[in-house]
Structure 1
Amino acid sequence: MFHPDRRHFSLMMLAALAACGSQGPEFKRYSGPPVTQVVVNKGQRRMYLLSGTSVLKAYDFGLGNQPIGHKQFEGDGKTPEGMYYVDRFNPRSRYHLSVGISYPNPYDVAYAAQFGRSAGGDIMFHGRGPEGNKLVREKRDWTAGCITVSDEEMEDIYAMLTPGVPVMIYP
């Protein structure tokens, strides 16, 4: 049997949650085919969001401030290369919105460790935000290793991706 006080409490909690959701920023919604893979070609500065073999969206982007080569150590300014996965979302990024990738993987960690160094982390797809908009005018590749697109493009990417989507980053 359902107790009346529990029902009242449940209704109050639902109302409180609904009120919280209406106070935050509005995010784009995506209702098309699922993104099954992200392919990033660093050399061409082109990123593709794929569903199966169909390209859903393609974007130009900026990279880390040392764009050539695979990220090996924290602070090297390089963007990783290889297979990773979407693993987190940050709606409060200082660069508008961000979507994290699973760098470093165990191989990246082991490689850096043999030199007594950290592989680093916090590699993201992100927008530019106010700070990045200033930096991108000076230099296309300005991040510490992240992949950056315009804020508007990042809103699309943020809406389209889901946790676990593979991210293949080519040189």
Structure 2
Amino acid sequence: MRLLIVAMILAFMTGGQAQAREVWPTPENPVTLVRVVKSQRILELWRGNERVRTYLISLGRNPVGPKQREGDSRTPEGRYFLDFRKSDSVAYKAFHVSYPTPEQRAAA
């Protein structure tokens, strides 16, 4: 079984922090890593070396393999930042992911 890690360190840009504080206060002990295991369809929240929560998740219509182009319905693989919480998404508690990276954009 292939174990795929999409690691995201939670970070907010200065403007995003001000907005987040108004609606969602920053917790005292924030999560430091979001890990997605595509093969198991789970998302784990980590604080340091401690896993604090695990959630079942849905992926794109065609999640197997790395994302190669826009519209391929695959989930990106790699290290990304969660930029801000998306208010315009149909998904509950959706976050914008800093995808693609400059390297991925250059390779496209």
Q: Shift of the alpha carbon at 1:100?
A: 0.9
- CA RMSD in angstroms, aligned pairs only: 1.9
- Counterpart mapping for 1:1-171 below 5 A: 31=27, 33-112=29-108
More helix by share: 1
State the distance in 1 between where 2:105 and 2:96 align. Answer: 17
Give, as a single letter, the amino acid of the residue that structure 1 aligns with 2:37.
N
In the alignment, which residue of structure 2 is the partner of 1:7? none
Q: Could you list the runs of 4 or more consecutive aligned residues of structure 1 that deviate by over 3 angstroms after TM superposition?
A: 27-32
More strand by share: 2
- Long gaps (5+) in structure 1: 1-26, 113-171
Q: Verify the 8 A CA contact 1:72 1:111 in the aligned structure 2.
A: no
Whose relative contact order is higher, 1 or 2, with alpha carbons under 8 Å and at least 6 apart? 1
Give the number of equivalent residue pairs.
Answer: 86
The TM-score with structure 1 as length reference comes to 0.46
In the alignment, which residue of structure 2 is the partner of 1:10? none
The TM-score with structure 2 as length reference comes to 0.70
Rg (Cα) greater in structure: 1
